[in-house]
Amino acid sequence: MTDIMTDTAFDRDHLWHPYTSITSPLPTYEVSHCEGVNIHLKTGESLVDGMSSWWSVIHGYNHPKLNQALIDQSKKMSHVMFGGFTHEPAVTLGKILLDMTNQAFEQVFIADSGSVSVEVALKMALQYQQGIGKDQKTRLGALLGGYHGDTLGAMSVCDPENGMHTLFNDYLPKNHFLPRPTTKPNQPLSIEDKTNLDIYFNQYGKELAAVIVEPLVQGAGGMYFYDKAYLKQLKNLCEQHGVLLIFDEIATGFGRTGELFAFIEAGITPDILCVGKAITGGYMTLAATLCTDEVSKGICASKSGVFMHGPTFMGNPLACAVAIASCELLLESNWQSQVQQIEKQLKEELLPLTESNKVEDVRIKGAMGIIEMKQPIDVASAQKHFVSEGVWIRPFGKLLYITPPYIIDKKALSKLTHVMSSFT
Ligand SMILES: *Cc1c(COP(=O)(O)O)cnc(C)c1O
């Protein structure tokens, strides 16, 4: 029966989409192909991409160099198990990641998705504490307003209220949350944050294995920026209380904020780092968890003697090959000036919208432009409007935001900001 249904009808009745209902779904648009910063719909429209397919497609779609990396690797092997084998794509990617993160880490766990890399980071922290004999350190800490992925462990460190996960609270482990930082960018640590951090560590420091945060920019939990002064104080307290610090740079990594990684901009090195999203230029699902030698040694001193994680597709050669090509492309491009150019133009074209009485706040950093509205946005109708205007922007909650590919030109970016302006 299903073969006589149109693609969109089949999709509506049979396929789950992110955070949507099967009984009352949001509309979906069928994409035929993509090129550069343009997404082409089956119905003929062409949309300027404002999202980079959720932070990932930084070099644009259908890039010849990335395509070639996949073709070349597929002729050697698309996959081989990582248990007992290794291969050049994994080794080269490991080296690149350690280099790009300024040799601040020693070991790399190549994971299959951002959420998995967070699970890996959390398990690393818990095993480390067991390994060094701190058996009472069995809880995790996180910030209110944070987002770390959709798997159960990752969910347990996402914002428990405004996150998408309130439904599961009875099931999830009870972790300890810090208030959202109030220290705004370029400001000294607020008294409020200092006090909150002190109280928090006095109360929970003994039971915490690790604190996980998205450094400088909280992404899916509200597109919220805060200053490095907060991270500095957090790092100090973590050290004093024997708590590992995990940075989740799955969204901020690979240049989005204007630096290769936010931890480099902040000048604060965590014990464990998660990267993902843009790692393959948006070509395949891949992520990585990097850690220091001290963390690895602690893990290996734990009862099992090994790190207890090993997904089937760990170190997938195709994904590693395209990640290598994407990282090389990034490093040999003038990404920093591209991102600065985007930031400058976003400031010019979006900051004036602060004046609108429908707008609560406008925030810009690197290649991220965020308009926080006073009222929640109706996604279905907003999306329809954006598509009719030839752009792809997907709002959530009160947030109308763009994270365009770094290669976007001035004219295409203006098209995005123009449509955003007309919406406010
Ligand atoms: C997207 C995201 C994740 C989850 O990554 P997936 O690849 O979707 O599993 C985790 N943390 C942050 C900060 C993210 O932006």
Q: How far from 31 is each of 17, 35, 73, 328, CA to CA, in Å?
A: 14, 11, 26, 28
Beta pairing class for 272-275 and 287-291 = antiparallel
Residue nearest to atom 3 of ligand 1 (CA): 149
Q: How many domains does the chain have?
A: 2
Q: How far is the CA of 166 from the centre of ligand 1 (A)?
A: 18
Counting atoms of ligand 1 from 1, which one is nearest the CA of 249? 13
Q: Are residues 293 and 353 in the same domain?
A: no
Residue 396 has pLDDT above 80, yes or no: yes
Residue nearest atom 5 in ligand 1 by C-alpha distance: 114
Mean residue pLDDT across the chain: 96
250 lines ligand 1 (CB under 6 A): yes
Containing structural domain, residue 274: 68-332
* Ligand 1 neighbour 148 (Cβ under 6 A): yes
Residue 3 predicted with pLDDT over 80: no
Last residue of a domain, one of 282, 313, 332: 332
Kindly provide the b/e burial profile for residues 360-382, where b requires at least 16 CB atoms within 10 angstroms of the residue's own CB: eebbbbbbbbbbbbeeebebeee
Cβ of 131 closer than 6 Å to ligand 1, yes or no, is no
Evaluate if residue 187 carries a pLDDT over 90. Answer: yes
SS3 85: coil
* Boundary of a domain, candidates 270, 304, 332: 332
Cα–ligand 1 centroid distance for 148 (angstroms): 6
pTM of the prediction? 0.97
- Please state, for a pLDDT cut of 70, what percent of the chain lies above it: 98
- Residue 296 in this model has a pLDDT that exceeds 70: yes
- Centre of ligand 1 to C-alpha 251, Å, is 7
Establish whether residue 276 lines the binding site of ligand 1, counting it when its CB lies within 6 angstroms of any ligand atom.
Answer: yes
Please check the confidence at residue 376 and state whether its pLDDT lies above 60: yes
Instruction: Please calculate the CA angle 278-55-342 and round it to the nearest 5 degrees.
Output: 105
Catalytic, 19? Answer yes
- Whether the pLDDT of residue 381 is over 60: the answer is yes
Does 115 have pLDDT greater than 70?
Answer: yes
115 and 89 belong to one structural domain:
yes
> Domain check: are 244 and 138 in the same one?
yes
Residues 153 and 175 placed together within one structural domain of the fold: yes
State whether residue 55 is helix, strand or coil.
helix
| Residue 357 CA, ligand 1 centroid: distance in Å | 33
The CATH number for 240's domain is: 3.40.640.10
